[in-house]
């Protein structure tokens, strides 16, 4: 009986198809991929094309290519890296509540530190950015856009490029999260209050207070997110 081929959608890369198959447990962590000949036939692509994709995924810690043995699917949550996180976000159409909470917990650890440094090193620029919140329209799209831009700019003003790279890793999922989070009036009101308090700390040139205010708000946002996503 002839094997059914699953031809690649031209809008998707081989990498994306394989990552989604791993995330959907078609190829769960700890399992092995089918032989190259079989997998390339199923996808309707050349073996050389498949091999290039496998090498990229191995570089990003999704796979371990073993000479003379089947390619192993890694336990990516334990062995992955920043590229792995970006790939998970990019290929997760509907992130789970727990996944978003994990991201917010990471943000609650990062944001206070880079806000502290931003206020310490560039207080005038922080003030200028936060002052724009007075003109912020009271709708989810406006809040999502402003809040994301604020986080990016504060990470830049911290003058630590690693913070910027980490924050940028969240860009693809933030629009989805923000639209849902800011669809609730109480969340917009809480965030507007945060901007006001943070602006006061920046005007006082007080990085320690700015750090504390940010920490409190980040932790509060986790609770509000859980309520918003129920």
Domains of the chain: 14-85 (1.10.10.10), 95-228 (1.20.120.530)
Rounded (5°) CA angle 17-20-24: 140
Q: Based on the number of CB atoms within 10 Å of its own CB, is 161 exposed (0-12), middle (13-18) or buried (19 or more)? A: exposed
Listed in sequence order, the DSSP H helices in 91-230 are 97-121, 123-131, 140-157, 161-168, 171-181, 185-203, 207-228
Q: Measure the CA–CA gap between 101 and 126, rounded to whole angstroms.
A: 27
Task: Please give the pLDDT value at position 10.
Answer: 45
**3-state SS, residue 144:** helix
Q: Quote the crossing angle between the two packed helices 185-203 and 97-121, to the nearest 10°.
A: 20
Task: Please give the pLDDT value at position 170.
Answer: 85
Task: Please give the pLDDT value at position 9.
Answer: 52
Q: Measure the CA–CA gap between 21 and 35, rounded to whole angstroms.
A: 16
Task: Please give the pLDDT value at position 94.
Answer: 73
Instruction: Report residue 102 as tokens.
Output: 């994990």
Task: Please give the pLDDT value at position 117.
Answer: 98
Task: Please give the pLDDT value at position 83.
Answer: 86
CA 226 vs. chain centroid, Å, equals: 17
Indicate the pTM of the whole model. 0.81
Contacts with 15 (C-beta within 8 Å, 6 or more apart), sequence order: 53, 56, 57, 87
Task: Please give the pLDDT value at position 190.
Answer: 95
Task: Please give the pLDDT value at position 3.
Answer: 47
Low-confidence ranges of the chain (pLDDT < 70): 1-12, 230
């Amino acid at each position: 009986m002839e094997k059914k081929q699953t031809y690649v959608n031209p809008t998707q890369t081989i990498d994306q198809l394989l990552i989604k198959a791993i995330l959907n447990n078609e190829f769960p962590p700890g399992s092995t991929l089918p032989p190259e000949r079989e997998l390339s036939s199923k996808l309707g692509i050349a073996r050389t094309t498949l091999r290039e994709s496998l090498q990229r995924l191995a570089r990003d810690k999704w796979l371990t290519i073993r000479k003379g043995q089947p390619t192993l699917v890694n336990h990516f949550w334990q062995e992955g890296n920043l590229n792995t996180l970006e790939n998970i976000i990019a290929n997760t159409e509907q992130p789970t509540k727990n996944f978003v909470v994990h991201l917010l917990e990471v943000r609650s650890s990062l944001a206070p530190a880079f806000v502290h440094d931003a206020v310490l090193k560039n207080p005038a620029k922080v003030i200028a950015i936060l002052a724009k919140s007075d003109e912020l329209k009271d709708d989810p799209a406006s809040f999502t856009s402003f809040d994301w831009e604020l986080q990016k700019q504060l990470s830049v003003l911290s003058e630590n490029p690693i913070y910027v790279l980490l924050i940028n890793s969240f860009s693809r999922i933030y629009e989805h999260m923000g639209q849902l989070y800011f669809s609730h009036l109480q969340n917009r009101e809480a965030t507007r209050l945060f901007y006001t308090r943070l602006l006061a700390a920046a005007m006082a040139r007080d990085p320690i207070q700015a750090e504390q205010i940010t920490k409190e708000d980040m932790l509060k946002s986790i609770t509000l997110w859980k309520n918003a996503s129920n």
